[in-house]
Amino acid sequence: MKIHIIAAESGISFFSSLLNYGVTVKIYGNPSVKDFLLKDLKIKEDYISDRIQTLFLNSKPIDNINNAFLENGAALALSAAMPGTAGALFRKQGRYAAMRKQITYTDNIDVKKNKKGEIILKLFNMPARELADIIFESGVSIEKETLSLFLKNYNKGLEPYIRSIYLDCKKKDKKNFFNKYLKSGFQAINLKATFS
Amino acid sequence: MDKILRINMSGEVPGFKIEDLGDYEGLGGRALTSAVIYKEVPPLSHPLSADNKLVIAPGLMSGSAAVISGRLSVGCKSPLTGGIKEANAGGQPSQMLGKLGYAAIIIEGKPKSNDLYKLFINKDGVQMTADKSLAMLGNYDLIDKMKEAYGDKIGCMSIGPAGEMKMSAASIACTDTEVRPTRHAGRGGVGAVMGSKGIKVIVIDDSGTSIRAPKDKERFKNANKIFAEGLKKHPVTGEGLPAFGTNVLTNILNEAGGYPTNNFAFGQFKGASKISGETMAETEIARGGLATHGCHKGCVIKCSGIYNDKDGNYLTKQPEYETVWAHGGNCGIDDMDVIAMLDRIDDDLGLDTIEMGASIGVAMEAGLLQFGDANGAIRLLKEEVGKGTPLGRILGNGAAVTGKVFGVERVPVVKGQAMPAYDPRAVQGVAVTYATSPMGADHTAGYAVGSNIMGVGGKTDPLKPDGQVELSRNLQIATAALDSTGLCLFIAFAILDQPETFNAMVELLNGFLGKDFTADDVAELGKSVLKNERDFNAKAGFTSKHDRLPEYFKNEAFPPHNVTFAVTDEELDQVFNW
Ligand code: SF4
């Protein structure tokens, strides 16, 4: 089942919070993190180099995005530069990277080869707000548990920003749509959102 | 700031005198508090005795037009660690004391009676009044009473019931721009020392004073402009911190597997998204609070906020990352409203949020209540600690005491002080600072304040594997220097990344003081502060054995990375070899 939401642009920050919880996206082959961001997600190169300063692959901070490769089931998280000593030391190739060397991602091209697969993508803080439109417009899949957790926190905030909702191309009543939908038997939904 | 207010609480009636700076000329903030403690407090004295002193020192530029320069240092021999302490706070008092010309207030001696005093300081002098009606008031009621008496243009430093009960986790509250007691000199039990001196509140009124003039107006003005612009244009100080506050780190530490959960048992918390900075900012805005707010006038970063309850009424200021962690993930609690309530109670009772979260976490580990028991945590804080029951007094004396009383091995403290929100096994460089800082476990003791451009320790290869000891050393030196200026540590990223902003900061200091300090001088200042602190601790009985993490961090692998703390004792002993 596919859900398509047409939402007001002013609601992007509410939708972006969903990206904090993690959404599922497809990968083809074993792209490097750089290629995935640039070619699959279509994020601009200077945004990747300047704005995305903190990245984790399977919870390991990455210093070199050209030499970190995705495989089916991986979890990738993106953040801007963060405050504090912790922020400084998690930053890619930061001056204080040695302070977290025990958990740093070590270049590993020996990933499990796959032709296609899925990864969990999480976006935090500024990248979540700034990239929400392109990520949702290209479509993501969301686990039922994630959606239900998110709606528990945001349901009231979300509805006013939704202009219309389509379920498998059929227009639906937006009132309490998600709550009703959560009661059905699905495990994950495919969600696409367009902001205007 | 050319005078010291020295208050002696001994004798039949407490008295005070106003002195010149003498040997302390040119010092401010932490450099001044640590110099006074080193020189004047017998290292073996009891922290709650007449021999200990409480030193309150605005940063060097506090009270001037320098942006974000209103941080205050509070020093003493700590009842929590038994060593030297500097606790740093925001709020209005630093700027006000600076404008009144006080480089420090030194409170010494001990009253003979059980009287509780209030101090009123304004341009005309100092009044000390015994006032029993203030006894056991929470900070919020106390400040309301002070506003009734002195108007709402005041700034206050006060203790709550925890300070009066001389609990080792007691803080000193500093009022914010709305005259609320929300900014705390939190760590090390400084509130207990104020309580032992019989002082409940210091009321400051700077009416009729002007801002402190720089020695070189043009140099200062230009530097201030470039410095402020640098802070505003940097993504961390100009966007991330104002939008989300320090709690933006919850998602990051959790993702990194370095978020100590359920009393440091594992590194990821399922409920992290519910209590993250992103969620908190959305909640604050939706409830008519504020996600961007400065703790004192002149702050251009504004990392704080106003947290309203579900009905839109003020509950507390935006809790910081360490508070959200301590009362949240560390205790398995994922309800933002409960965490905000615990923050409010801490502020009202006058308690360090990190220490109290750690104490409750240890109590949970001991089986007093379950991890995740939000109502139980509120009850412990309000009904036990707040009322000073025997159990409350155990908890209010910190995680180490709580662990000892209840026979818990996993007690996350160094030198008796609870660790903040970064697990030592996942971020081992921070753990080097936890272990070796003269303050006890303290995340702000080795802040990433751009030691490289300060010239401390030369250039370190960021990816060199063995740099943790060297980096910790450099950061501790740079932080000690910055803590002396009155500037907030959160300027760190802007001065780390933007050489012109770092240069503007040095110029700002030089323009203000009429000096020509170089980066080397700043590093020397940092070293001298640390030397005083280390020497004091050595004379108080501290040895290299105290510069260690609890053993279990070396033995218990920490999920999800399953790592143990691997920095050797020999390496730790090299931190202060400069
Ligand atoms: S950045 Fe935050 S902590 Fe620092 S002075 Fe401003 S409001 Fe206070």
Q: Which of B324, B229, B561, B524 is nearest to B425 (CA)?
A: B561
- CB-ligand 1 contact for B295 (6 Å cutoff): yes
Which protein residue's CA is at the shortest distance from atom 2 of ligand 1? Answer: B303
Give the mean pLDDT of B359-364: 98
CB contact under 8 A, A99 and B427: yes
- Helical H segments across B89-177, by residue range: 93-99, 139-150, 161-164
pLDDT at residue B451, as a whole number: 46
- CB-ligand 1 contact for B488 (6 Å cutoff): yes
pLDDT at residue B82, as a whole number: 98
Alpha-carbon span A17 to A13, nearest angstrom: 7
Give the mean pLDDT of B281-310: 94
Q: Which residue of B has its CA nearest to A16?
A: B278
CB contact under 8 A, A84 and B468: no
Residues B190-209: tens digit of each pLDDT: 999 999 999 999 999 999 99
Give the mean pLDDT of B108-129: 96
* The ligand 1 atom nearest the CA atom of B70: 5
CB contact under 8 A, A125 and B243: yes
pLDDT at residue A46, as a whole number: 97
Angle at B402 between CA B338 and CA B190, to 5 degrees: 80
Which distant-in-sequence residues (6+ apart) come within 8 Å of B323 by Cβ?
B339, B343, B346, B353, B354, B357
Chain A CB contacts of B560 under 8 Å are 59
Residues of chain B with CATH 1.10.599.10: 216-244+424-578
pLDDT bin (cut points 50, 70, 90) of residue B475 is: confident
Q: Would strands B3-8 and B102-108 be described as parallel, antiparallel, or unpaired?
A: parallel
- Reported ipTM: the value is 0.93
Residues B129-179: tens digit of each pLDDT: 999 999 999 999 999 999 999 999 999 999 999 999 999 999 999 999 999
Residues B564-573: tens digit of each pLDDT: 998 999 999 9
pLDDT at residue B221, as a whole number: 97
pLDDT at residue B428, as a whole number: 87
pLDDT at residue B455, as a whole number: 44
Q: Which residue of B has its CA nearest to A51?
A: B235
Residues B515-539: tens digit of each pLDDT: 998 888 888 999 999 999 999 999 9
Tell me the nearest-neighbour CA distance from A169 into chain B, angstroms.
31
Best substitution site from B292, B489, B490 to test ligand 1's pocket, by max atoms within 8 Å of Cβ?
B490
- CB-ligand 1 contact for B492 (6 Å cutoff): no
Q: Would strands B102-108 and B172-174 be described as parallel, antiparallel, or unpaired?
A: unpaired
Look up residue B487 and give its amino acid: L
pLDDT bin (cut points 50, 70, 90) of residue A108 is: low
Chain A CB contacts of B471 under 8 Å are 96, 98-99
Residues B344-358: tens digit of each pLDDT: 999 999 999 999 999
pLDDT at residue B518, as a whole number: 86
Looking at the domain covering B260-423, what would its CATH class be? mainly alpha
pLDDT at residue B80, as a whole number: 98
Chain A CB contacts of B563 under 8 Å are 102-103
Q: Tell me the CA–centroid distance for residue B475 and ligand 1, in Å.
A: 20
Domain B3-204 adopts which CATH fold?
Answer: Aldehyde Ferredoxin Oxidoreductase;  A, domain 1 (3.60.9)
> What percentage of chain B reaches a pLDDT higher than 70?
96
| CATH architecture entry for B216-244+424-578 | Orthogonal Bundle (1.10)
Lowest mean pLDDT among A189-193, B242-246, B266-270, B346-350: A189-193
Give the mean pLDDT of A137-144: 91
Q: What is the pTM of this model?
A: 0.95
CB contact under 8 A, B427 and A81: no
- Which H, E and C letters describe chain A, residue by residue? CEEEEEECHHHHHHHHHHHHHCEEEEEECCCEHHHHHHHHCCCCHHHHHHHCCEEEECCEECCCCCCEECCCCCEEEEECCCCHHHHHHHCCCCCCHHHHHHHCCCCECCCCCCCEEEEEEEECHHHHHHHHHHHHHHCEEEEHHHHHHHHHHHHHHHHHHEEEEEECCEEECCCCHHHHHHHCCCCEEEEEEEEC
Report the mean per-residue pLDDT for chain B. Answer: 94
Residues B42-73: tens digit of each pLDDT: 999 999 999 999 999 999 999 999 999 999 99
pLDDT at residue A110, as a whole number: 67
Residue A24: half-sphere exposure toward Cβ, Cα within 13 Å: 15
Residues A60-86: tens digit of each pLDDT: 999 999 999 999 999 999 999 998 888
